[in-house]
């Protein structure tokens, strides 16, 4: 056979293809020597197999999921139904504007809703995740200074920030300058002042910050930065702390990203898809990625003609199904988005007050949607935060975020979200108190946890150094 071209088929190596005859053969040396052991089972058995596998997973439908900085709340199933409507799923992204007016209208109205919620003036729905929104926002800031003739190379980021903040700014070519937190867990204003100079393009802040604490001096910070000609970036991943109460515009920010897959009810984890829209003030409007969805009074259209656009950051208009779910959620909630924030904050404060006697609360301040405990007291008995997290798995609870933010030793970061009842919160408090009791009386039990999960305690170092990627039937 004459080999016309070779292509790597990704599984068994090189396939030799004869384009004219429209055939491909796999080289003998790549062929299986023994027949593949495929199970020979009935449909129902196959179904049971997959059901059993899915039962081994933990998910929000099975138990409490207080993963801090992740907003793992219940997402109404009706959103999935709407996103799977044939008119949406069957739509081709290359359709002409006049053939997809419904989808464009939905995106336009979602942009408007996000403008209202954030107080900002223009929106791109393209970015596929929070970190992607951060990168997009930083690219906008960079281009803004390029166009306006300033050479600014540095971005200030508080030491409590989510790791994606410095990563995104660095990826965009900025030098990261950390600013320390004070004893109230907030940006140290004097330290900030000493870092501000002509090189500083922006500050990236999260407010409430990752300790769950509202930055009281945010207006002063905004003044300091703006007087220096710098911009302010707001990490709005966990927006359920403030929805309807305040917004980044009122706080003096210029750019904000939202995580639709956290605050606006799309399930997340496991690789997405997500959406991290970026909202900007008027003066940054001309830098947004193209296209932006607009309305001329008669029809909706994709505007690619954006003067200083940073270009496109994702194919077409982003992860459309996520946009449908977020829009459905916003419409369903309406004014009650404010109540969602109220409950998120109430639930977090309730847990904080119930747990702060037994566990150390390093920053004892009123919190917003989350708070951070320290396992230092328990550590004195030889049991670490990691062990506490594992022990929670035996209590039908997903472990909270641990060892983040970095400024708290043995950090346990708890975010109950707005969707849990008092009963669930009380059960969690009891589980946490029980574990702390066990640490004093029977530490072995906690050290060897979890006991009830399909996979018991794993040696994480071994798993990282010598990963066994083959599925082995027990
Ligand atoms: C989750 C989160 C991010 C990153 O969002 P991804 O969608 O995971 O990229 C950034 N900042 C904060 C504060 C977050 O909680």
Please give the full DSSP string across 447-472, using - where no structure is assigned.
Answer: HT---SSSS----HHHHHHS---S--
Residue 110 is predicted with a pLDDT of: 98
Main-chain phi, psi angles of 432, to 5 degrees? -65, -40
Residue 112 is predicted with a pLDDT of: 98
CA of 44 to the centre of ligand 1 (A): 40
What is the phi-psi region of residue 149: left when phi exceeds 0, alpha when psi lies from -120 to 50, beta otherwise? left
pLDDT-based confidence at 277, cuts 50/70/90?
very high
Q: What's the first-to-final CA gap in the chain, in angstroms?
A: 45
Q: 68: Cβ below 6 Å to ligand 1?
A: no
Q: Residue whose CA is closest, atom 2 of ligand 1?
A: 237
How many degrees, rounded to 5, is the angle at CA 372 between CA 76 and CA 267? 20
Over 50: is that where the pLDDT of 3 sits? no
| Out of 14-28, 139-153, 156-170, least confident range | 14-28
CB-based contacts of 54: which residues, under 8 Å, 6+ apart? none
CA of 137 to the centre of ligand 1 (A): 14
Q: Which two tokens stand for residue 457?
A: 């305690």
pLDDT-based confidence at 473, cuts 50/70/90?
low
Asked if 415 and 67 touch (Cβ cutoff 8 Å), the reply is yes
Q: How far apart are CA 127 and CA 226, in angstroms?
A: 26
Over 70: is that where the pLDDT of 396 sits? yes
Residue 27 or 215, more confident: 215
- Own/partner contacts of 62-66, CB < 8 Å, gap of 24 or more, are 62/396, 63/396, 63/397, 63/398, 64/396, 64/397, 64/398, 64/416, 64/420, 64/424, 64/427, 64/428, 65/397, 65/398, 66/351, 66/397, 66/398, 66/400, 66/414, 66/415, 66/416, 66/417, 66/428
Residue 15 is predicted with a pLDDT of: 61
Q: Is 105 helix (H, G, I), strand (E, B) or coil?
A: helix
pLDDT-based confidence at 25, cuts 50/70/90?
confident
Beta bridge partners of 156: 177, 203
Task: Give the H/E segment covering residue 256.
Answer: strand 255-258
| Out of 9-18, 24-33, 365-374, least confident range | 9-18
Task: Give the H/E segment covering residue 180.
Answer: none
Residue 472 is predicted with a pLDDT of: 57
Q: Is 16 helix (H, G, I), strand (E, B) or coil?
A: strand
CA of 131 to the centre of ligand 1 (A): 6
pLDDT tens-digit series, residues 214-268: 999 999 999 999 999 999 999 999 999 999 999 999 999 999 999 999 999 988 8
Torsion (CA) 167, 172, 178, 184 in degrees, nearest 10: -70
Residue 2 is predicted with a pLDDT of: 44
Residue whose CB lies within 8 A of the most ligand 1 atoms, among 72, 160, 162, for a mutation test: 162
Q: Residue whose CA is closest, atom 15 of ligand 1?
A: 69
Q: Which two tokens stand for residue 389?
A: 């997290």
CA of 13 to the centre of ligand 1 (A): 38
CA of 407 to the centre of ligand 1 (A): 18
Residue 29 or 106, more confident: 106
pLDDT tens-digit series, residues 147-194: 998 889 999 999 999 999 999 999 999 999 999 999 999 999 999 999
Over 70: is that where the pLDDT of 11 sits? no
Q: Give the residue-averaged pLDDT of 200-214.
A: 97
Residue 467 is predicted with a pLDDT of: 84
Torsion (CA) 212, 217, 222, 227 in degrees, nearest 10: -150
Atom of ligand 1 nearest to the CA of 69: 15
Please confirm whether the linkage preceding 201 is cis (ω < 30° from 0): no
Mean pLDDT value across the chain: 93
Over 70: is that where the pLDDT of 209 sits? yes
Q: 136: Cβ below 6 Å to ligand 1?
A: no
pLDDT tens-digit series, residues 340-378: 999 999 999 999 999 999 999 999 999 999 999 999 999
CA of 9 to the centre of ligand 1 (A): 35
Identify the burial level of 124 via C-beta atoms within 10 angstroms of its C-beta, where 0-12 means exposed, 13-18 middle and 19 or more buried. Answer: buried
Which alpha helices (H) appear in 175-253, and where do they start and end? 189-195, 218-227
What predicted TM-score, i.e. pTM, was given to this entire model? 0.89
Asked if 388 and 428 touch (Cβ cutoff 8 Å), the reply is no
pLDDT tens-digit series, residues 214-229: 999 999 999 999 999 9
Residue 36 or 285, more confident: 285
Residue 143 is predicted with a pLDDT of: 97
Atom of ligand 1 nearest to the CA of 272: 7
CB count within 10 Å of CB 96 equals: 9
CB count within 10 Å of CB 291 equals: 22
């Amino acid at each position: 056979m004459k080999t016309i071209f070779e292509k790597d088929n990704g599984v068994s190596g090189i396939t030799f293809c004869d384009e004219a005859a429209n055939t491909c053969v796999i080289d003998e040396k790549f062929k299986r020597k023994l027949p593949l052991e495929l199970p020979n089972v009935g449909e129902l058995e196959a179904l049971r197999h997959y059901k059993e596998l899915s039962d081994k997973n933990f998910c929000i439908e099975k138990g409490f999921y207080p993963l801090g900085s992740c907003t793992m709340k219940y997402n109404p199933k009706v959103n999935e139904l709407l996103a799977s409507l044939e008119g949406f799923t069957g739509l081709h992204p290359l359709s002409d504007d006049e053939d997809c007016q419904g989808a464009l209208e939905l995106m336009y109205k979602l942009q408007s809703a996000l403008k209202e919620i954030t107080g900002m003036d223009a929106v791109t729905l393209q970015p596929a995740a929070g970190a992607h929104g951060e990168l997009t926002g930083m690219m906008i800031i960079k281009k803004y200074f390029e166009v306006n003739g300033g050479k600014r190379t540095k971005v200030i980021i508080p030491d409590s920030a989510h790791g994606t903040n410095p990563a995104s700014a660095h990826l965009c070519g900025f030098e990261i300058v950390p600013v320390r937190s004070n004893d109230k867990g907030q940006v140290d204003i004097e330290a900030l002042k000493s870092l501000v100079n002509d090189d500083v393009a922006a500050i990236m802040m999260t407010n409430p910050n990752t300790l769950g604490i509202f930055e009281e001096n945010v207006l002063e910070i905004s003044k300091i930065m703006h007087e220096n000609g710098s911009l302010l970036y707001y990490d709005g991943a966990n927006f359920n702390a403030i929805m309807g109460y305040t917004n980044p515009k009122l706080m003096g920010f210029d750019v904000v990203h939202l995580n639709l897959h956290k605050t606006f009810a799309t399930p997340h984890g496991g690789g997405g898809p997500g959406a991290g829209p970026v909202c900007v003030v008027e003066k940054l409007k001309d830098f947004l990625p193209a296209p932006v969805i607009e309305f001329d009074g008669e029809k909706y259209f994709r505007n690619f003609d954006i003067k200083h656009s940073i270009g496109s950051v994702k194919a077409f208009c982003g992860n459309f199904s996520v946009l449908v779910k977020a829009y459905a959620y916003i419409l369903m909630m309406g004014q009650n988005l404010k109540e969602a924030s109220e409950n998120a904050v109430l639930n977090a404060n309730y847990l904080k007050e119930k747990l702060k006697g037994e566990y150390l609360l390093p920053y004892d301040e009123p919190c917003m949607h989350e708070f951070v405990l320290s396992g230092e007291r328990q550590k004195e008995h030889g049991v670490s935060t990691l062990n506490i997290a594992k022990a929670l798995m035996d209590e039908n609870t997903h472990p909270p975020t641990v060892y983040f933010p970095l400024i708290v030793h043995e950090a346990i970061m708890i975010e109950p979200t707005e969707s849990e009842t008092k009963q669930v919160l009380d059960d969690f408090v009891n589980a946490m108190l029980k574990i702390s009791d066990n640490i004093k009386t029977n530490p072995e039990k906690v050290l060897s946890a979890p006991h009830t999960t399909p996979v018991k305690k794993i040696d994480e170092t071994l798993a990282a150094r010598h990963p066994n990627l083959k599925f082995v039937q027990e």
